[in-house]
Protein backbone atom coordinates (compact mmCIF):
# COMPACT_ATOMS: atom_id res chain seq x y z
CA UNK A 1 0.00 0.00 0.00
CA UNK A 2 1.28 3.44 -0.86
CA UNK A 3 1.76 5.91 1.94
CA UNK A 4 1.52 9.70 1.92
CA UNK A 5 5.28 9.93 2.17
CA UNK A 6 5.56 8.08 -1.15
CA UNK A 7 4.03 11.09 -2.92
CA UNK A 8 5.54 13.99 -1.00
CA UNK A 9 8.07 14.69 -3.70
CA UNK A 10 5.25 15.23 -6.22
CA UNK A 11 4.08 18.36 -4.40
CA UNK A 12 7.29 19.74 -2.92
CA UNK A 13 8.21 21.22 -6.31
CA UNK A 14 7.28 24.94 -6.48
CA UNK A 15 6.10 24.37 -10.05
CA UNK A 16 3.60 21.78 -8.79
CA UNK A 17 2.27 24.24 -6.24
CA UNK A 18 1.84 26.84 -8.97
CA UNK A 19 0.08 24.30 -11.20
CA UNK A 20 -2.36 23.36 -8.41
CA UNK A 21 -3.06 27.04 -7.85
CA UNK A 22 -3.92 27.55 -11.53
CA UNK A 23 -6.15 24.44 -11.60
CA UNK A 24 -8.22 25.94 -8.79
CA UNK A 25 -8.30 29.44 -10.26
CA UNK A 26 -9.38 28.17 -13.69
CA UNK A 27 -12.10 26.03 -12.16
CA UNK A 28 -13.54 29.16 -10.54
CA UNK A 29 -13.18 31.17 -13.73
CA UNK A 30 -10.45 33.59 -14.74
CA UNK A 31 -10.71 37.25 -15.61
CA UNK A 32 -9.24 38.43 -18.91
CA UNK A 33 -6.08 39.62 -17.12
CA UNK A 34 -5.79 36.31 -15.29
CA UNK A 35 -6.14 34.40 -18.58
CA UNK A 36 -3.23 36.41 -19.98
CA UNK A 37 -1.20 35.75 -16.83
CA UNK A 38 -1.96 32.05 -17.12
CA UNK A 39 -0.86 32.00 -20.76
CA UNK A 40 2.40 33.73 -19.83
CA UNK A 41 2.97 31.24 -17.02
CA UNK A 42 2.44 28.27 -19.37
CA UNK A 43 4.67 29.70 -22.09
CA UNK A 44 7.50 30.48 -19.69
CA UNK A 45 8.60 26.89 -19.12
CA UNK A 46 7.69 23.77 -21.15
CA UNK A 47 7.24 21.55 -18.07
CA UNK A 48 4.52 23.81 -16.67
CA UNK A 49 1.94 22.62 -19.21
CA UNK A 50 2.70 19.01 -18.33
CA UNK A 51 2.34 19.59 -14.58
CA UNK A 52 -0.84 21.64 -15.05
CA UNK A 53 -2.50 18.90 -17.09
CA UNK A 54 -1.34 16.30 -14.57
CA UNK A 55 -3.10 18.00 -11.66
CA UNK A 56 -6.12 19.00 -13.73
CA UNK A 57 -6.65 15.36 -14.66
CA UNK A 58 -6.59 14.48 -10.96
CA UNK A 59 -9.20 17.15 -10.34
CA UNK A 60 -11.50 15.94 -13.10
CA UNK A 61 -11.04 12.22 -12.47
CA UNK A 62 -11.64 12.31 -8.74
CA UNK A 63 -13.93 15.35 -8.54
CA UNK A 64 -11.47 16.71 -6.01
CA UNK A 65 -13.15 20.04 -5.35
CA UNK A 66 -13.04 20.02 -1.59
CA UNK A 67 -9.58 18.43 -1.46
CA UNK A 68 -8.03 21.07 -3.70
CA UNK A 69 -9.93 23.82 -1.92
CA UNK A 70 -8.18 22.79 1.26
CA UNK A 71 -4.89 22.83 -0.61
CA UNK A 72 -5.63 26.34 -1.90
CA UNK A 73 -6.56 27.61 1.55
CA UNK A 74 -3.28 26.33 2.89
CA UNK A 75 -1.19 27.36 -0.08
CA UNK A 76 0.68 29.98 1.93
CA UNK A 77 1.83 27.22 4.29
CA UNK A 78 3.06 24.87 1.60
CA UNK A 79 6.67 25.83 2.20
CA UNK A 80 6.36 24.36 5.67
CA UNK A 81 3.76 21.63 5.09
CA UNK A 82 3.46 18.97 2.44
CA UNK A 83 0.25 17.87 0.78
CA UNK A 84 -0.82 14.60 2.29
CA UNK A 85 -2.71 11.54 1.15
CA UNK A 86 -6.00 12.68 -0.55
CA UNK A 87 -4.53 14.77 -3.35
CA UNK A 88 -1.35 12.73 -3.65
CA UNK A 89 -3.29 9.50 -4.05
CA UNK A 90 -5.50 11.07 -6.69
CA UNK A 91 -2.53 12.38 -8.62
CA UNK A 92 -0.69 9.07 -8.48
CA UNK A 93 -3.76 7.14 -9.59
CA UNK A 94 -4.25 9.17 -12.75
CA UNK A 95 -0.62 9.31 -13.78
CA UNK A 96 -1.35 6.96 -16.68
CA UNK A 97 -4.50 8.76 -17.84
CA UNK A 98 -3.45 11.09 -20.65
CA UNK A 99 -6.02 13.52 -22.04
CA UNK A 100 -3.48 15.91 -23.48
CA UNK A 101 -0.05 14.87 -24.75
CA UNK A 102 2.54 17.54 -25.35
CA UNK A 103 6.12 16.99 -26.39
CA UNK A 104 8.82 19.58 -26.76
CA UNK A 105 11.99 19.05 -28.73
CA UNK A 106 14.49 21.83 -28.82
CA UNK A 107 17.94 23.18 -28.93
CA UNK A 108 19.02 25.37 -26.02
CA UNK A 109 22.21 27.36 -26.08
CA UNK A 110 24.31 28.04 -23.01
CA UNK A 111 23.63 31.76 -23.30
CA UNK A 112 19.86 31.75 -23.81
CA UNK A 113 17.25 30.18 -21.53
CA UNK A 114 14.41 30.74 -23.97
CA UNK A 115 12.20 28.03 -25.34
CA UNK A 116 13.86 25.78 -27.87
CA UNK A 117 14.18 26.82 -31.50
CA UNK A 118 12.02 23.90 -32.54
CA UNK A 119 8.64 23.34 -30.91
CA UNK A 120 6.60 20.24 -31.67
CA UNK A 121 3.35 19.27 -30.00
CA UNK A 122 0.39 16.97 -30.42
CA UNK A 123 -2.82 18.07 -28.72
CA UNK A 124 -5.63 15.54 -28.47
CA UNK A 125 -8.64 16.13 -26.26
CA UNK A 126 -12.05 14.69 -25.49
CA UNK A 127 -13.25 17.98 -23.95
CA UNK A 128 -12.49 21.68 -24.37
CA UNK A 129 -8.83 22.62 -24.00
CA UNK A 130 -7.01 25.94 -24.19
CA UNK A 131 -3.26 25.94 -24.77
CA UNK A 132 -0.70 28.74 -24.89
CA UNK A 133 1.91 28.33 -27.60
CA UNK A 134 5.54 29.44 -27.24
CA UNK A 135 5.22 32.19 -29.84
CA UNK A 136 2.52 33.93 -27.79
CA UNK A 137 -0.38 32.52 -29.81
CA UNK A 138 -3.16 30.50 -28.21
CA UNK A 139 -5.26 27.61 -29.47
CA UNK A 140 -8.62 26.44 -28.16
CA UNK A 141 -9.73 22.93 -29.10
CA UNK A 142 -13.36 21.85 -29.07
CA UNK A 143 -14.19 18.39 -27.73
CA UNK A 144 -13.00 15.37 -29.74
CA UNK A 145 -10.37 17.40 -31.57
CA UNK A 146 -6.75 16.74 -32.45
CA UNK A 147 -4.01 19.00 -33.80
CA UNK A 148 -0.30 18.73 -34.49
CA UNK A 149 2.09 21.68 -34.25
CA UNK A 150 5.54 22.48 -35.56
CA UNK A 151 7.18 25.86 -34.97
CA UNK A 152 10.72 26.57 -36.18
CA UNK A 153 12.72 29.28 -37.93
CA UNK A 154 10.55 30.58 -40.76
CA UNK A 155 7.48 28.47 -40.00
CA UNK A 156 4.53 28.09 -37.66
CA UNK A 157 2.51 25.16 -38.99
CA UNK A 158 -0.54 23.46 -37.49
CA UNK A 159 -2.24 20.36 -38.88
CA UNK A 160 -5.86 20.07 -37.70
CA UNK A 161 -6.44 16.32 -37.79
CA UNK A 162 -9.92 16.19 -36.26
CA UNK A 163 -12.57 18.49 -34.90
CA UNK A 164 -12.55 22.25 -34.39
CA UNK A 165 -10.03 24.82 -33.21
CA UNK A 166 -9.94 28.55 -32.63
CA UNK A 167 -6.59 30.35 -33.00
CA UNK A 168 -5.43 33.72 -31.70
CA UNK A 169 -2.23 34.35 -33.59
CA UNK A 170 0.66 36.46 -32.30
CA UNK A 171 2.07 38.75 -35.00
CA UNK A 172 5.31 37.59 -36.58
CA UNK A 173 5.65 38.69 -40.23
CA UNK A 174 8.74 36.53 -40.67
CA UNK A 175 6.85 33.38 -39.68
CA UNK A 176 3.32 33.19 -41.13
CA UNK A 177 0.93 31.05 -39.11
CA UNK A 178 -0.38 28.24 -41.33
CA UNK A 179 -3.21 25.83 -40.50
CA UNK A 180 -3.54 22.83 -42.78
CA UNK A 181 -6.46 20.43 -43.10
CA UNK A 182 -5.86 17.90 -45.82
CA UNK A 183 -4.92 19.99 -48.86
CA UNK A 184 -6.69 23.09 -47.58
CA UNK A 185 -4.56 25.84 -46.08
CA UNK A 186 -5.40 28.88 -43.94
CA UNK A 187 -2.57 31.42 -43.70
CA UNK A 188 -2.36 34.30 -41.22
CA UNK A 189 0.20 36.64 -39.69
CA UNK A 190 -1.59 38.16 -36.70
CA UNK A 191 -5.28 37.47 -36.41
CA UNK A 192 -7.97 35.28 -34.80
CA UNK A 193 -9.96 32.66 -36.66
CA UNK A 194 -11.88 29.42 -36.25
CA UNK A 195 -11.40 26.22 -38.29
CA UNK A 196 -13.99 23.43 -38.20
CA UNK A 197 -13.26 20.09 -39.85
CA UNK A 198 -16.44 18.02 -40.03
CA UNK A 199 -17.12 14.30 -40.33
CA UNK A 200 -18.19 14.65 -43.96
CA UNK A 201 -14.64 15.83 -44.83
CA UNK A 202 -15.71 19.46 -45.32
CA UNK A 203 -14.09 22.53 -43.81
CA UNK A 204 -15.37 25.86 -42.51
CA UNK A 205 -13.20 28.89 -41.74
CA UNK A 206 -14.57 31.83 -39.74
CA UNK A 207 -12.45 34.93 -39.09
CA UNK A 208 -13.13 36.78 -35.84
CA UNK A 209 -10.28 39.32 -36.07
CA UNK A 210 -7.91 40.47 -38.81
CA UNK A 211 -7.56 38.67 -42.14
CA UNK A 212 -6.52 35.26 -43.45
CA UNK A 213 -5.74 33.84 -46.88
CA UNK A 214 -7.33 30.61 -48.06
CA UNK A 215 -5.34 28.27 -50.27
CA UNK A 216 -5.18 24.74 -51.57
CA UNK A 217 -1.87 22.94 -51.64
CA UNK A 218 0.12 19.92 -50.64
CA UNK A 219 -1.38 18.75 -47.37
CA UNK A 220 1.23 17.33 -45.04
CA UNK A 221 4.33 18.14 -47.09
CA UNK A 222 6.93 20.36 -45.45
CA UNK A 223 6.77 24.03 -46.44
CA UNK A 224 9.63 24.62 -48.89
CA UNK A 225 10.16 27.09 -51.70
CA UNK A 226 8.96 24.42 -54.15
CA UNK A 227 5.77 23.57 -52.27
CA UNK A 228 5.05 27.25 -51.68
CA UNK A 229 4.78 27.75 -55.45
CA UNK A 230 2.22 24.93 -55.65
CA UNK A 231 -0.20 26.67 -53.30
CA UNK A 232 -3.09 27.97 -55.38
CA UNK A 233 -5.08 30.81 -53.80
CA UNK A 234 -8.81 30.23 -54.27
CA UNK A 235 -10.01 33.34 -52.43
CA UNK A 236 -7.50 36.16 -51.85
CA UNK A 237 -8.49 37.02 -48.28
CA UNK A 238 -11.13 36.46 -45.63
CA UNK A 239 -11.85 39.33 -43.22
CA UNK A 240 -13.31 39.57 -39.70
CA UNK A 241 -16.95 38.54 -39.64
CA UNK A 242 -16.67 36.47 -42.81
CA UNK A 243 -16.91 32.72 -43.35
CA UNK A 244 -15.99 30.40 -46.22
CA UNK A 245 -16.40 26.66 -46.74
CA UNK A 246 -14.68 23.91 -48.69
CA UNK A 247 -16.80 20.87 -49.54
CA UNK A 248 -13.80 18.54 -49.35
CA UNK A 249 -10.33 18.96 -47.83
CA UNK A 250 -9.01 16.40 -50.32
CA UNK A 251 -9.75 18.68 -53.29
CA UNK A 252 -10.67 21.98 -51.67
CA UNK A 253 -12.78 24.39 -53.65
CA UNK A 254 -13.70 27.36 -51.50
CA UNK A 255 -17.23 28.71 -51.55
CA UNK A 256 -18.01 32.38 -51.90
CA UNK A 257 -17.31 34.57 -48.89
CA UNK A 258 -20.32 35.13 -46.64
CA UNK A 259 -20.57 37.89 -44.03
CA UNK A 260 -22.42 36.92 -40.86
CA UNK A 261 -23.81 38.93 -37.94
CA UNK A 262 -22.16 39.08 -34.53
CA UNK A 263 -25.02 37.06 -33.05
CA UNK A 264 -24.40 34.21 -35.47
CA UNK A 265 -20.65 34.35 -34.81
CA UNK A 266 -21.35 34.04 -31.09
CA UNK A 267 -23.66 31.11 -31.74
CA UNK A 268 -21.08 29.29 -33.85
CA UNK A 269 -18.40 29.82 -31.22
CA UNK A 270 -20.48 29.11 -28.13
CA UNK A 271 -18.42 25.95 -27.51
CA UNK A 272 -15.67 28.29 -26.25
CA UNK A 273 -16.07 28.98 -22.54
CA UNK A 274 -16.43 32.58 -21.44
CA UNK A 275 -16.33 34.13 -17.99
CA UNK A 276 -19.81 34.84 -16.68
CA UNK A 277 -19.78 37.87 -14.38
CA UNK A 278 -22.82 38.65 -12.25
CA UNK A 279 -23.32 41.10 -9.40
CA UNK A 280 -26.55 40.76 -7.38
CA UNK A 281 -28.22 38.83 -10.17
CA UNK A 282 -30.98 36.32 -9.54
CA UNK A 283 -30.35 32.59 -9.66
CA UNK A 284 -32.80 32.41 -12.56
CA UNK A 285 -30.72 34.90 -14.60
CA UNK A 286 -27.47 33.06 -13.88
CA UNK A 287 -29.01 29.69 -14.74
CA UNK A 288 -30.28 31.08 -18.05
CA UNK A 289 -26.75 32.23 -18.92
CA UNK A 290 -25.28 28.79 -18.17
CA UNK A 291 -28.06 27.02 -20.07
CA UNK A 292 -27.51 29.11 -23.20
CA UNK A 293 -23.94 27.83 -23.48
CA UNK A 294 -24.17 24.19 -22.38
CA UNK A 295 -25.88 20.99 -23.46
CA UNK A 296 -26.35 20.05 -19.81
CA UNK A 297 -29.06 22.29 -18.38
CA UNK A 298 -29.83 23.52 -14.88
CA UNK A 299 -33.45 23.07 -13.79
CA UNK A 300 -34.74 25.10 -10.83
CA UNK A 301 -37.17 22.77 -9.11
CA UNK A 302 -38.48 25.19 -6.46
CA UNK A 303 -39.76 28.57 -7.61
CA UNK A 304 -38.67 30.29 -4.39
CA UNK A 305 -35.07 29.79 -5.47
CA UNK A 306 -35.43 31.83 -8.65
CA UNK A 307 -34.77 35.14 -6.92
CA UNK A 308 -31.86 34.01 -4.74
CA UNK A 309 -29.20 36.75 -5.18
CA UNK A 310 -25.98 35.57 -6.85
CA UNK A 311 -22.65 37.37 -7.30
CA UNK A 312 -20.11 35.29 -9.21
CA UNK A 313 -17.33 35.26 -11.79
CA UNK A 314 -17.28 31.76 -13.27
CA UNK A 315 -16.30 29.99 -16.46
CA UNK A 316 -19.38 29.12 -18.49
CA UNK A 317 -18.45 25.42 -18.79
CA UNK A 318 -17.89 24.93 -15.04
CA UNK A 319 -21.37 23.70 -14.19
CA UNK A 320 -20.49 21.46 -11.27
CA UNK A 321 -18.20 24.06 -9.75
CA UNK A 322 -21.06 26.57 -9.80
CA UNK A 323 -23.47 24.01 -8.33
CA UNK A 324 -21.06 23.30 -5.47
CA UNK A 325 -20.54 27.00 -4.85
CA UNK A 326 -24.22 27.85 -4.48
CA UNK A 327 -24.67 24.81 -2.24
CA UNK A 328 -21.97 26.17 0.07
CA UNK A 329 -23.00 29.83 -0.07
CA UNK A 330 -26.75 29.84 -0.70
CA UNK A 331 -27.98 26.53 0.69
CA UNK A 332 -29.16 25.27 -2.70
CA UNK A 333 -29.03 21.50 -3.10
CA UNK A 334 -28.23 19.99 -6.48
CA UNK A 335 -28.47 16.60 -8.15
CA UNK A 336 -27.32 15.60 -11.61
CA UNK A 337 -30.20 13.39 -12.70
CA UNK A 338 -28.79 12.71 -16.19
CA UNK A 339 -26.10 13.89 -18.58
CA UNK A 340 -28.54 16.52 -19.79
CA UNK A 341 -29.91 17.84 -16.48
CA UNK A 342 -28.80 19.18 -13.10
CA UNK A 343 -31.71 19.82 -10.72
CA UNK A 344 -31.46 22.67 -8.20
CA UNK A 345 -33.76 22.45 -5.19
CA UNK A 346 -34.25 24.01 -1.81
CA UNK A 347 -32.70 22.23 1.18
CA UNK A 348 -36.20 22.01 2.62
CA UNK A 349 -37.64 20.49 -0.52
CA UNK A 350 -38.95 16.95 -0.22
CA UNK A 351 -38.16 14.48 -2.93
Comparing 350 with 237, the larger pLDDT belongs to: 237
Is the domain of 60 the same as that of 187? no
Is the domain of 177 the same as that of 251? yes
pLDDT at 100 over 60: no
Comparing 14 with 184, the larger pLDDT belongs to: 184
Give the residue from 55, 73, 97 where a domain finishes: 97
What mean pLDDT value characterizes the chain?
75
Is the domain of 190 the same as that of 83? no
Note the pTM of the prediction, 2 decimals. 0.58
Enumerate the H helices of 169-317 as residue ranges: 225-229, 262-268, 283-293
Q: What SS3 state is found at 210?
A: coil
Q: Are 175 and 243 in contact (CB under 8 A)?
A: no
281-297 burial, b at 16+ Cβ within 10 Å, e below that, comes to: bebeebbebbeebbeee
User: What are the φ and ψ backbone dihedral angles of 207, each rounded to 5 degrees?
Assistant: -95, 125
Q: How confident is the model at residue 13 (pLDDT cuts 50, 70, 90)?
A: low
Residue 165 within a domain: yes
Contacts of 56 (CB under 8 A, 6+ apart): 23, 26
Return the pLDDT at 307.
94
Burial of 68 (0-12, 13-18, 19+ CB in 10 A): buried
Q: Give the HSE-up count for residue 144: Cα atoms under 13 Å, Cβ half-sphere.
A: 5
Q: Residue 309 maps to which CATH number?
A: 3.55.50.30
Is the domain of 4 the same as that of 133? no
Return the pLDDT at 58.
58
Residue 163 within a domain: yes
pLDDT at 102 over 60: no
Cβ count within 10 A of residue 232: 11
List the domain range (segments joined by +) for residue 45. 1-97
Residue 351 within a domain: no
Mean pLDDT of all residues in 212-223: 63
Return the pLDDT at 248.
86
Residue 158 within a domain: yes
Comparing 208 with 19, the larger pLDDT belongs to: 208
Mean pLDDT of all residues in 7-16: 54
Is the domain of 248 the same as that of 293? no
Question: What total of structural domains would you count in the chain?
Answer: 3
Return the pLDDT at 158.
95
Is the domain of 103 the same as that of 81? no
Mean pLDDT of all residues in 145-156: 90
Give the residue from 238, 272, 306 where a domain finishes: 272
Q: Residues 104-126: pLDDT tens digits?
A: 333 333 333 343 467 888 888 88
Return the pLDDT at 334.
95
What stretch of H or E contains 68?
Answer: helix 65-73
Is the domain of 120 the same as that of 241? yes
Is the domain of 260 the same as that of 176? yes
Is the domain of 115 the same as that of 172? yes
Contacts of 139 (CB under 8 A, 6+ apart): 123, 130, 131, 133, 147, 158, 165, 166, 167, 168
Q: Using CA of residue 56, residue 57, residue 61, residue 64, what is the dihedral sign?
A: negative
Return the pLDDT at 2.
32
Is the domain of 231 the same as that of 108? yes
Q: Residues 252-308: pLDDT tens digits?
A: 888 778 999 998 998 899 888 888 899 999 999 999 999 988 889 999 999 999 999
Q: Residue 230 maps to which CATH number?
A: 2.60.120.1440
Q: Residues 329-345: pLDDT tens digits?
A: 888 999 999 989 999 99
346 alpha carbon, distance to own chain's centre: 33
Q: How confident is the model at residue 103 (pLDDT cuts 50, 70, 90)?
A: very low
Give the residue from 253, 272, 291 where a domain finishes: 272
Is the domain of 131 the same as that of 85? no
Is the domain of 107 the same as that of 250? yes
Task: Quote the CA–CA distance of 296 and 322 in Å, as a whole number.
Answer: 13
Amino acid sequence: MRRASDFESSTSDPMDREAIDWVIKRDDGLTEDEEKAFDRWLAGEPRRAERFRFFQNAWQRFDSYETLRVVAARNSQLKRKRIRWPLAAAVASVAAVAVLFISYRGIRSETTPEIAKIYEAMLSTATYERQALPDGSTVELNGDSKAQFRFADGERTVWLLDGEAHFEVAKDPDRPFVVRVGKATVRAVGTAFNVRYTEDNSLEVLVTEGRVRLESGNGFEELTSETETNLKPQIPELSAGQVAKASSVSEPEWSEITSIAEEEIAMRLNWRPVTLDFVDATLREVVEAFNQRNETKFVIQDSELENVPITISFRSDNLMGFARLIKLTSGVEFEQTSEAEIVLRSVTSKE
